[in-house]
Amino acid sequence: MSYKYILYELIVQTTFPCPMLLAADNHAVPDVVTIEGSVPRTLIGAVAAGENWQASPGRFLWRGGARAGRFLVEDGRRITLERNPASEDAMLAAHLLSAVLAALLRQRGMLVLHANTAVTRRGAVTMSGETGAGKSTTLAALMKRGCAMLADDITVLRLSADNKVEALPGISKLNLCEDAAERLGHAVDKLPRNPLRRIKVVLPTHNKMASTPASVYAIYLLNSSPKSGVTLQSLSGADKFSALQECIYGPLFPEEHPEQFGLLAEISNQVRIFRLDRPSSGWSAPEVAEAILNG
């Protein structure tokens, strides 16, 4: 059995259900096809690697563990899945919608950031930073203040027809740590858990999603600091370009899509980039959200 979904303006066909995704028409021609078959344990000719992945231009291998399987992403058009005997559909979907999806989008020439994005009155704002920096909590706090959500975890940027940097709508779900969800007024016991990170709950955001791309106003690199208070530092020149490099999700190969480096230059020219420090102790999400909205 196969399923078709809409993901970042692509029609993606899978061999397992992903209930949180927007279903595509059964007659839609897929841009990306998932097939089931043999996947190697290691990627021959890999030029970049991490604990669970290997990559080379046009190929990405992801090892999803006992409850999932191995994924091989090729040329941004095909995903081969080799299930493990104990695989679960929920785990397969969780892996697809994280590192596998990011690799797929990169191979299609999109600029993929490890970041969350909301639409404010000044335009889209993107929040990046290390794990635990508060990206999802900040997005939730902005939504609490009336902002629409564009993306959680995977933000995709491109140039519009009029050469403006814009972010694409992502998946209508938000992953939040349990304590953050409680502080923001959500009933944690009624929310599903993230299969990959059990400390996080998943908030459906169908009624709070932006449905169209939005021009990017600013990018914020969030950082947990021992200092008190929330501080903003506007970046310029080489510091701005260097900070942007920190936001990129996964390896970016120059020979794969050289036009992405032109897009990076346009982002540096068009988009404001800030470092935002928040106190590592205490609850600062409201102050961070206000700094982004009014700073």
Q: What is the pLDDT of residue 152?
A: 95
How far are the Cα atoms of 6, 184, 199, 282 from residue 179, in angstroms, in the given order?
A: 31, 9, 9, 12
User: Of 108, 130, 164, which residue is a domain's last?
Assistant: 108
Q: What is the pLDDT of residue 111?
A: 94
Q: Are residues 152 and 263 in the same domain?
A: yes
Q: What is the pLDDT of residue 258?
A: 79
Q: Are residues 68 and 206 in the same domain?
A: no
In 171-272, which ranges are continuous DSSP H helix?
178-183, 237-246, 259-270
Q: Are residues 79 and 136 in the same domain?
A: no
Q: What is the pLDDT of residue 262?
A: 86
Q: Are residues 281 and 142 in the same domain?
A: yes
Q: Are residues 157 and 177 in the same domain?
A: yes
The model scores a pTM over 0.85: yes
CA 257, CA 260: separation in Å to the nearest integer? 6
Q: Are residues 144 and 8 in the same domain?
A: no
Quick one: the chain helix, strand, coil %, rounded to 5? Answer: 25, 35, 40
User: Of 67, 82, 108, which residue is a domain's last?
Assistant: 108
Q: Are residues 42 and 82 in the same domain?
A: yes
Containing structural domain, residue 267:
112-294
User: Of 108, 130, 147, which residue is a domain's last?
Assistant: 108
Neighbours of 10 (CB within 10 A): 18
What does the pLDDT profile of the chain (295 residues) look like in tens digits? 899 999 999 999 999 999 989 999 999 999 999 999 999 999 999 999 999 999 999 999 999 999 999 999 999 999 999 999 999 999 999 999 999 999 999 999 899 999 999 999 999 999 999 888 889 999 999 999 999 999 999 999 999 999 999 999 999 999 999 998 899 888 888 898 988 888 899 988 888 999 999 999 999 999 988 888 899 999 999 999 899 999 999 898 887 777 788 899 899 999 999 999 999 888 899 999 999 999 7
Q: What is the pLDDT of residue 257?
A: 77
Q: Are residues 89 and 159 in the same domain?
A: no
Q: Are residues 75 and 217 in the same domain?
A: no
Q: What is the pLDDT of residue 260?
A: 82
Tally of structural domains, the chain:
2
